[in-house]
Amino acid sequence: MEGSSNRDKEHLLSLKVMRLTKPSFISLAPVLCEANDIAGGDKLTDVKPTLANVKDIPSFAVSEMLTLPQNFGSIYLGETFASYVNVHNDSQSKVSDIQVKTDLQTASQRLTLSTTTTPNNADLDPEGSIDDVVNHEVKELGTHILVCAVSYAAPSGEKMYFRKFFKFQVLKPLDVKTKFYNAEDYRRFRGRVFYASDEVYLEAQIQNITNSPMCMEKVNLEPSAKYNVRELNSVERTQSNETTFGKLSYLNPMDVRQYLYCLTAKQHPGSQKVILKGVSNIGKLDIVWRTNLGERGRLQTSQLERVAPGYGDVRLAINEVPDGVQIEKPFNFKCQITSCCDRTMELRLVLTNTTKGLHWIGVSGKQLGKLGPGASMDIDLTLMASVPGLLSISGLRLTDQYLKRTYEHDDIAQVFVYTNLEGA
């Protein structure tokens, strides 16, 4: 789309700008008409459309055809905008001191894409041309204006100048939504359940909001320096690295695809356990796709932030607990205590039977000793159930002897209690 010159006078040079893009598909349906319904009958052959008709088969349409865009067309965020700029000497005289400057104006900045002059400041002969190709990876939404300015010297020595403006819109190609889950990672081994509560899961929902399908070439999570990442979007049992979405990676218009990643806090050998507090940067998503004719697009999200769960001064994590136990038979319960504060505590363990039918076995009021900032200690406890059913482990109390502060831990885990008959 061409704009107007900044001067209302006849110029010796003309400026043409064409966007360099691949063609698009169009479908042509045959349009049929009865010759008897038209005045003149079959003599008016020029009104019978034949473009979409196959020869000798008027009711059969041809396949899709390729068409070049009539204007700048749709440009999406993350794609590369390429344009051909041509300055032509339409006069019968030589023109000198030609300079062509191409800028891109957005809502927030103005970028210079190219500055072109005649080779060795030579004159431009009649019917001569200066051309250039500009490229720019679009990183901002909204209205963009391509500003092409041409300055030159006429044969009389007068300095001439004009500009043309080409406006286009940059649209959003993808809708990205993220969710964080502080879920427990359950691992079974010989009938027991092991818990790893340091993991956080990121779910990324990506929706194609363009009018054409796209091929998702890459969707990676680039973690920050605090985290390690493991992607969960491939099928491990196959040797071909097949994704969970199957062999086809196409995403049709308005379709949504979900990607899952597991993140763990980095732990340096020999150092204390890392306790992440408050808001922390997880990383950013790097998304690469291609359109139906192979044009490449790329987007990177801003830094994804996660609010770490608040554990207070003391964090209690489960190391091992059985998923099912027999009634009136003692079973072991293993947990880990981690200090989340910046001071040293001296802890005392108190066990109270707060759950009906579930009893602690052991000494209550045991001194656990000192626990420094970020340090951890493992505790092995024993319980016994006197009633069947699904019971919740509760009643674990930790008291800081320095501040006389008690930390209560209830509903720590659940176990299923079965009778002798059910267990046989």
Task: Grade residue 205 by pLDDT with cuts at 50, 70 and 90.
Answer: very high
Q: Is the pTM of this model over 0.95?
A: no
Same fold, 13-22+69-171 and 314-423: yes
The mean pLDDT of 9-36, rounded to a whole number, is: 72
pLDDT digit string (tens) for 290-306? 887 788 889 988 888 87
- CATH number for the domain whose boundaries are 174-307: 2.60.40.1230
Task: For residue range 394-416, list pLDDT tens digits in order.
Answer: 999 999 988 888 888 888 888 99
pLDDT at 330: 93
Q: Which of 83-92, 187-196, 260-269, 287-296 has the lowest mean pLDDT?
A: 187-196
Residue 308 has pLDDT above 80, yes or no: no
Homologous superfamily in CATH for domain 314-423? Immunoglobulins (2.60.40.10)
SS (H, E, C) the chain: CCCCCCCCCCCCEEEEEEECCCCEEECCCCCCCCHHHCCCHHHCHHHCCCCCEECCEEEEECCCEEECCCCCCCEECCEEEEEEEEEEECCCCCEEEEEEEEEEECCCCEEEEEEEECHHHCCECCCCEEEEEEEEECCCCEEEEEEEEEEEECCCCCEEEEEEEEEEEEECCEEEEEEEECCCEEEEECCEEEEECCEEEEEEEEEECCCCCEEEEEEEEEECCCEEEEECCECCCCCCCCECCECCCEECCCCEEEEEEEEEECCCCCCCCCCCCCEEEEEEEEEEEEECCCCEEEEECCCEEEECCCCCCEEEEEEEEECEEECCCCEEEEEEEEECCCCCEEEEEEECCCCCCEEEECCCCEEEEEECCCCEEEEEEEEEECCCEEEEECCEEEEECCCCEEEEECCCEEEEEECHHHHC
Q: Is the pLDDT of residue 263 over 50?
A: yes
| Residue 3 confidence class, pLDDT cut points 50, 70, 90 | very low
Domain extents in the chain: 13-22+69-171, 28-63, 174-307, 314-423
Which CATH architecture best describes the domain 13-22+69-171? Sandwich (2.60)
pLDDT of 424 above 50:
no
